[in-house]
Amino acid sequence: MSATESFDEHRLSMASEDYLEAMYRLTIADGDNPMGIRSVDVAEQLNVSKASVNKAINTLKEAGCVEQTRYGRIVLTDYGREYGSEVWRTHKVLRAFLIKDLDVNPEVANEEACLMEHALSRDTIRRWLAFLENQGFSIDDEDDEQFVGNVTVKPVFDTTPKHPKKQGADTRSTDEKPVTA
């Protein structure tokens, strides 16, 4: 069974996925330090208490996502790394799509991408990501200081009109309002 099949069978809660995603991002930001990451860094990243992080660590240990000795650093297992990577990649693609193709405010897009990454099934997410990639949509793997991801994207949908209007002519009906960003 592949790790992605296992994600479907043993899907973590939204909160656990958020903790795992944060741990994954901190791990890659630290250059994949084999010593692991500190729980206090996770608490700071998510703006939660250390006690909350410890509870999440126990849940993630039971799920086979992390290892930690008592009061030691947190190390992602191979399964945890792959799962965290998938959640983070999904977040970045959804966020980029919302910003570039739907012109959503970046802060709103970041929050909504976080909600969407948990609400959709893994199968739906994989199909959507494959569709976007087949359309030429891509993201890079560099993360900015706020862990929201620098995205380089090509919009999926061509927004140029198929039948250009005559310059200056407004063909909207009187009850239509223009969409503003």
Q: What is the mean pLDDT of the chain?
A: 78
pLDDT in tens, 64-108: 999 998 889 999 999 999 999 999 988 998 898 899 889 999 999
pLDDT in tens, 114-129: 999 888 888 888 898 8
d(CA 131, CA 139): 14
**Farthest CA pair distance, the chain:** 71
Q: Using alpha carbons only, what angle is made at residue 156 by residues 155 and 157, rounded to the nearest 5 degrees?
A: 95
pTM, entire model: 0.69
Please answer whether residues 133 and 15 qualify as being in contact, where contact means their C-beta atoms are separated by less than 8 angstroms. Answer: no
Please answer whether residues 109 and 99 qualify as being in contact, where contact means their C-beta atoms are separated by less than 8 angstroms. Answer: yes
Amino acid at 23: M
Integer CA distances (angstroms), 108 to 72, 102, 105, in order? 35, 12, 5
**CATH number assigned to the domain with residue range 14-141, chosen from the 4 options 3.40.50.300, 2.102.10.10, 3.40.50.2000, 1.10.10.10:** 1.10.10.10
Alpha helices (H) along the chain: 3-9, 14-29, 39-46, 50-62, 78-100, 106-119, 122-134
pLDDT in tens, 31-50: 888 889 999 999 999 999 99
pLDDT in tens, 122-155: 888 889 888 888 887 776 543 443 333 333 333 3
Q: Give the residue, 166 or 54, on which the prediction is more confident.
A: 54
d(CA 32, CA 75): 10
d(CA 15, CA 126): 21
Q: E strand or H helix at 74, and its extent?
A: strand 74-76
The pLDDT value recorded for residue 140 is 55
Residue with tokens 């970045």: 92
Domain boundaries, the chain: 14-141
